[in-house]
Each structure stands twice: as C-alpha cells, then as structure tokens.
Copies of this chain bind each other. A is one copy, B any other.
C-alpha cells in the first residue's frame, strides 16, 4: 500500500513512517504543506496522513484544495486539538477520519487500514464535483477555484442535475422534466435562458468552460 505522510515534526513523522514500513507499506514523507499538495496530486496514494498544523500551507487548506481539485484519496487528519469543532471542521473539509495526538501507533495503523479497505466514494453523496467546481448540497454552497458563487434556486437545481449526470448529454426535454417537472414543451426557451444565466456565474468568470452545449442535442457538464 502506498502512503503519504505530511508532517513537519520529524520525531512524529519518522515514528509513523517506520511503523508503517514495518507493516510492509511504501511510505513517502514530506514536511510542509506545499510539498504535500504537490506530492498528493502527482503520486497515486492509497491514504494520506495529514497533520493539521503545517508550515507553508495549513493541513485543512491543503485538504480543501485537494478535494476542490476532485481528488478523493482517503485522508486521515492528525490534530493536536481535541475540540469537537475542530473535528467537524476537519470532516467538513473532506477528511475521512481524524486522530487526536498523542496516539498509539496501533491506533494509527488500524485507522489507515480501515480507510484503505473502505469502499471509497461512500461519503461523496453530499458533495458534487466537476473540475475545480464544488457543490455542497447540505450547505447549499457552490464554489469554483475556491471562490464562492451564489446561485438562484432554479440555477442551483439545474446545475445539480447536470452534475449528477456529469459527462452525459441532457436534452432540453430531460431537463424540463427533471428540473421544471413539466412533461410538455412550453414553446419557450426557458432552458436556454437558465443555462445562459448559469454560465454567466459559473463559467464566464473562469478560464475553462464546464457547461458545454451539444448542438442539436442539449447540454453537458464536463471537466
């Protein structure tokens, strides 16, 4: 199993790394957040072990960035603080599990194994992603490249529908049915109108366009 440890305290990181290697894993170690992000995005890891407090780039930010980029590698967050709030922040940021320092090595090992074993994307239900776009269905927040976008209810519904069938073309009829709940052609261009508005908020301010029109067929979202 290939693991990445991002931890600035060398005492801790060598302790973790040695233990995991003894269990037969391939372990990479980096000491700051920026290197961590690079390494995490380029290497194919089974689990990331991430300290919350890091130089250069804080662990939570790193995690958010990673998730924002669509990376779903299981993350175990190490935190020095034990307050519930911190855990919640961690889970919200996209961590799959957390561990409060100090911890026994056996505990870390158990959790790492649990994470690797767990069928991924079991969580995902609450957040939809496409490229650098994130849509959180619970908080009802949409962000792209870290920037928050606020959408009107209909726009939100439309984007949600498109994201849920990412990559597949949705015809006007399908969209009318799903988002407007009408099964006849209203003889107007409601769909086009709303796609246009959605684009103005979601695509226009950024460099790559996520919402694509398939002429003669419909629309599709794709990274």
Cβ contact within 8 Å between B83 and A169: no
Cβ contact within 8 Å between A84 and B169: no
Name the contact of A110 in the complex, choosing from B82, B110, B123 (C-beta under 8 A).
B110
Query: How distant is the Cα of A168 from the Cα of B136 in the complex, in angstroms?
Result: 9
* Contact indicator per residue, chain A 24-40, by CB within 8 Å of chain B (1) or not (0): 00000000000000000
Given A85-B129, A87-B91, verify A104-B113 contact (CB < 8 Å): yes
Chain B CB within 8 A of A216 CB? yes
Chain B CB within 8 A of A178 CB? no
Chain B CB within 8 A of A80 CB? no
Query: How distant is the Cα of A73 from the Cα of B167 in the complex, in angstroms?
Result: 24
Question: Number of copies of this chain in the oligomer?
Answer: 2
Cβ contact within 8 Å between A122 and B82: yes
Cβ contact within 8 Å between A82 and B167: no
Name the contact of A107 in the complex, choosing from B114, B123, B215 (C-beta under 8 A).
B114
Q: Which residues from B are CB-within-8-Å of A140?
A: 169, 214, 217, 220
Cβ contact within 8 Å between B83 and A123: yes
Name the contact of A138 in the complex, choosing from B113, B153, B169 (C-beta under 8 A).
B169
Q: Which residues from B are CB-within-8-Å of A85?
A: 126, 129, 138
Name the contact of A139 in the complex, choosing from B87, B125, B153, B167 (C-beta under 8 A).
B167
Cβ contact within 8 Å between A107 and B111: yes
